[in-house]
Amino acid sequence: MTTDSIPVVRTTCQGAWWRGLPAGLAAFVLLALVAGPAWGMPQEAAPEYRALPFISSRVLMWAVAELHLMFAAFVLAVPMFALVIEFIGYRTGDKRYDQLAYDFTKLLSVSFSFTATLGALLTFGLLVFYPALTQYLVKIFSWTFLPYVLLFFLEAFFLYAYYYGWGKLSPRLHLFIGLMLNLVGTAIMFIANAWLTFMNTPNGIDDMGNLTSLWEAINNYTWMPINIHRLIANVAFGGAIGAAYGAFKFLGAKTLAAKAHYDWMGYIGIFVAICALLPLPFAGYWLGVEIYAYDQSLGITLMGGTFSWLFIVQAVLIGNLFLAANYYLWLSMARIPGAERFRGFIKYLLGVITLCFIVWATPHSLVATVEEARAMGGSHHPILNVLGVMSAKNTAVNLLILTTYVSFLLYRRANKEATVSWARIGNWIQFGIFAVVVIYVVFLGVYGYFVDAQTRIGLSRPQVLSVLFAMASVTVIDLFLFKNAKSRGEIVWGKISARSQYALFFLAITFTWLMGLMGYVRAGMRQHWHVYGVMRDTSVDAFTPTLGFAGGVVSAIVIVFFLLIAIVFFLAGLSGRKDWTPKSGSRWNEEETTVSTEPA
């Protein structure tokens, strides 16, 4: 073949002695973490790869890395909204918020240990199974390991101080610790993101793969987009898992007060998740554009080529996320007196969602038999073709976002009746804003077919901005509209069907699956490269697995993750139990050990 004329990097260390210093330090720390067999290996004799009996080392590393990512995402995300909720409690003086924030925080300490264990396992595995690649990355990023390790220690300190200091420290100090925890956590993620984005879009190196600028290697094309995309996706993921915890406790709750509390917890969790879900498509789109800009070959592999079918699976998952989120909101209305008034809207909202879902999931490359293809006059279907490209998808996802927002709006006003004199006009203005924005978004989508690619990509910006504008302005009007509103009754927390709680499980599992799938894409799009265009994968695993196989591995990872999360849930629930007391006669009494719950 005519490809790949770029030299493959040899990983011999050269240069001034001090260059090796941080690498040595880092290697020392890494080795200290994992100790054991790696100690005895003389560097020169190290092979490029090692294999395992029964399972391919790639699949093992894949699973360990993804599980580490999932737990890390969770551990980073929970403090973000726990802090916000705690702050609300501090400002309003409402104890329930404080309790809720603490309930979320309880999930952290065990998860943190899992994250660290999996991280050590990952490092260890990389050293053992991929020594050449690991050496190269350590060489490039040697200076980043020291701050990483330091930050990790700080993270541990702040995390445990935040957890154990609950109610023991002054609220301000506690909030400050929470803030530091978030800052440190985000910094850790940014550093780790530099390593992995470098592998996809290497930068700051010369033709031979030697480092020329550490900052450029860190700030490569996809670093910032992935930082942002992950930051937001983590919050969505953490919120969904937190909501699943609420659902889990709700379904097992024995008292009305406990049901009410955990219903509320599930609602807040999913509220956080949906708020983060709404801007995700934009962040993902930006990431896609940067990948395309770095190298069209990578971009096409991802969106139009080898992985185009995977993105159909992604679209189906995301469509389901939006559908389930709306479904949960509709079911939630059962707990609000007065919500019956809005039932009639559900079918229209559902209609729009279904239509957008269909457009969003329509593939560009079709699966068709020869006969079907002939009938279509080619591999493109003249009508589906229109739906298969970015203009249509962007329009669909913008409308999905707006629809979800409308569901929220209805939920918010379910028990309210406006008393202001301009209520009617206000409603009409809101409606007008929606109408204009929807027409504008659809117009831009259609217009996109008549302009060149560069302009078309530019069109996504006004689309996004107009949707953001609609959400912001309607919210502001709504705030004034329902000031001093007449209430039709309080929200009755806990008065909700079990179905809604299963919808929360569904959301959590779907998010996790999506995350696993996208983690695979991120690594898979390099195909037979370890570091794209710089260091070739010469192992026996250098092929791209089939989508079915990858789906199987991702599913297995998701199952393992939920088994581990079940342990976290179980352990977090222990603190709420009554103290164990020996009972005369029986070994212990069943009722004693069943869940007793905190006051709401």
Partner 1 sequence: MNLFVLLGIAAVMVLIQQVLTRWIQLNRIAWLGIWWVALWAAFSYGINPPLPNSIIVLFMAIITIALMAYLSADNEELEEARQSIVRFMVAQEYRIALVIVLLVIPAAVAAWTYASMNEAPQPPSSGRTIHPPPPSSITFAGNSIDLATANNPYRELEHTDEAAFAAHVANGRRIYFQNCFYCHGDNMQGAGMFAHGYDPLPANFNDATTIAMLQESYLFWRIAKGAPGLPSESTPWSSAMPAWELFLTEEEIWDVILFLYEYTGYEPRAQGMPH
Per-residue interface string for the shown chain with partner 1, residues 193-232, x marking contact by CB under 8 A: ----------------------------x-----------
Residue of the chain from 34, 63, 69, 217 that contacts ligand HEM (CB under 6 A): 69
Residue of the chain from 372, 461, 462, 567 that contacts partner 1 (CB under 8 A): 372
Query: What length is written for the chain?
Result: 600
Q: Which amino acid is at 585?
A: G
Determine if 524 is a binding residue for ligand HEM (CB under 6 A): no
**CA 246 – CA 328 distance, rounded (Å):** 14
Q: Which two tokens stand for residue 284?
A: 């993902």
Residue of the chain from 60, 180, 300, 560 that contacts partner 1 (CB under 8 A): 300
> Which CB sits closer to ligand HEM, 305 or 576?
305
> Site residues for ligand HEM, window 385-404 (CB under 6 A)?
397
Q: Name the binder of 6 from ligand HEM, partner 1, none, CB < 5-8 A by kind.
A: partner 1
> Which CB sits closer to ligand HEM, 177 or 554?
554
Residue carrying the six token digits 């059962």: 334
> Which CB sits closer to ligand HEM, 260 or 518?
518
Q: Name the binder of 518 from ligand HEM, partner 1, none, CB < 5-8 A by kind.
A: ligand HEM
> Site residues for partner 1, window 70-129 (CB under 8 A)?
none
Largest CA distance in the chain: 83
**CA 348 – CA 513 distance, rounded (Å):** 29
Residue of the chain from 320, 398, 415, 430 that contacts partner 1 (CB under 8 A): 320
> Site residues for partner 1, window 534-553 (CB under 8 A)?
544
Q: Name the binder of 596 from ligand HEM, partner 1, none, CB < 5-8 A by kind.
A: none
Determine if 364 is a binding residue for partner 1 (CB under 8 A): yes
Q: Name the binder of 454 from ligand HEM, partner 1, none, CB < 5-8 A by kind.
A: partner 1
Q: Which amino acid is at 257?
A: A
**CA 165 – CA 159 distance, rounded (Å):** 10
Least distance to partner 1, CB of residue 387, Å: 10
Comparing C-alpha atoms, which of 527, 543, 544, 524 is closest to residue 535? 527
Note the Cα 567 to chain centre separation in Å: 21
> How far apart are the two ends of the chain, measured CA to CA in Å?
68
Determine if 318 is a binding residue for ligand HEM (CB under 6 A): yes
496 and 43 Cβ atoms separated by less than 8 Å: no
Residue of the chain from 27, 30, 73, 390 that contacts ligand HEM (CB under 6 A): 73
Comparing C-alpha atoms, which of 353, 317, 384, 238 is closest to residue 521? 317
321 and 279 Cβ atoms separated by less than 8 Å: no
Determine if 331 is a binding residue for partner 1 (CB under 8 A): yes
**Cβ neighbours of residue 97 closer than 8 Å, sequence gap 6 or more:** 85, 86, 88, 89
Comparing C-alpha atoms, which of 111, 81, 516, 495 is closest to residue 274? 81
Task: Please give the residue whose beta carbon sits closest to ligand HEM in the complex.
Answer: 284
Which of the ranges 227-235, 262-270, 406-414, 546-554 carries the binding residues for ligand HEM, by CB under 6 A?
A: 227-235
Determine if 65 is a binding residue for ligand HEM (CB under 6 A): no
Per-residue interface string for the shown chain with partner 1, residues 498-517, x marking contact by CB under 8 A: -x------------------
**CA 446 – CA 455 distance, rounded (Å):** 13
Q: Which two tokens stand for residue 457?
A: 């990509």
Determine if 233 is a binding residue for ligand HEM (CB under 6 A): yes
Determine if 277 is a binding residue for ligand HEM (CB under 6 A): yes
420 and 479 Cβ atoms separated by less than 8 Å: no
Determine if 410 is a binding residue for ligand HEM (CB under 6 A): no
SS3 221: coil
Residue of the chain from 32, 41, 375, 556 that contacts partner 1 (CB under 8 A): 375
Q: Name the binder of 287 from partner 1, ligand HEM, none, CB < 5-8 A by kind.
A: ligand HEM
Q: Which two tokens stand for residue 301?
A: 């592999």
Using alpha carbons only, give the angle 51, 23, 60 rounded to the nearest 5 degrees. Answer: 25
Give the helix ranges, DSSP H, for 93-170.
Answer: 95-105, 108-129, 131-164
**CA 555 – CA 169 distance, rounded (Å):** 42
> Site residues for ligand HEM, window 489-508 (CB under 6 A)?
none
Per-residue interface string for the shown chain with ligand HEM, residues 446-485, x marking contact by CB under 6 A: ----------------------------------------
Site residues (vs ligand HEM, CB under 6 A)? 69, 73, 226, 229-230, 233-234, 237, 277, 280-281, 284-285, 287-288, 302, 318, 397, 511, 514-515, 518-519, 521-522
